[in-house]
Amino acid sequence: MKSFIVLGLGRFGISVAQTLYDLGYEVLGVDADEKIVNELSRHINHTVQADITSEEFLRSMDIKKFNAAVVAVGSNIQVSIMATVLLKELEAKFILVKAQDVFQEKILYKVGADKVILPEKDIGIKVARNLAAENFFDMVEISADHSITSVKPPVSWQGKNLGDLAARTKHGINILAVKSKSGTNIMPGANTVIEGGSVITIMGRNDDLERFNNLE
């Protein structure tokens, strides 16, 4: 089972920790605030009250055993930098750090972060993309350039099967599921027919998804 350590239990850290736990992973949450630690202990596997910049504490956690370490402080760049440097020295497998702005992002990458996120910016980008693509129901980014989304297929697809439509060859997308009145078909075959009112779940590059969304 994958395991994660989340350092800093503000709103962002708690959200990450609880979501990972709900997905079935082992999660250890760490914060200096005893009240927060005690509250979260009822919602994830393990919590510890500690200073996340303490080398002695981090060494005692055997950081290398976790699949990823999340530094979720954000509001205090010095704490984020110190924690990131220590995690790097302790050979953390993957370090994800929250930043508040692009300047912090650059610094955190330089001191060893594998991935830096700016939550407000990332959410804003996702919302804007969904607004721009009017018939996109939802979009899940799986990388900077690729996403999974559910959409209404073009009207021209109705009554045709996936083999004839050749979505991957013609449009650069993979069809993961087709939902229709008769039910949901996961990993549909070439003979699957697109019925009126269907919804398809597709995966591909963001630019290919946007082009596909504009088909009629």
Half-sphere exposure of 158 (CA within 13 A, CB side): 10
Q: Whole-prediction pTM value?
A: 0.62
Domains parsed from the chain with CATH numbers: 3-117 (3.40.50.720), 122-213 (3.30.70.1450)
CB neighbourhood size of 174 (10 A): 13
Cα separation, 163 vs 13, whole angstroms: 45
Q: Closest Cα to residue 90, out of 109, 73, 112?
A: 112
Q: Walk along the chain (216 residues) and give the pLDDT tens digit of each residue.
A: 899 999 999 988 998 999 899 888 999 999 999 999 999 998 999 999 999 999 999 999 999 999 999 999 967 899 999 999 999 999 999 999 999 889 999 999 999 999 999 887 776 666 566 555 555 556 677 666 788 888 889 989 999 999 999 999 999 999 988 988 888 888 889 999 999 888 898 988 888 888 888 776
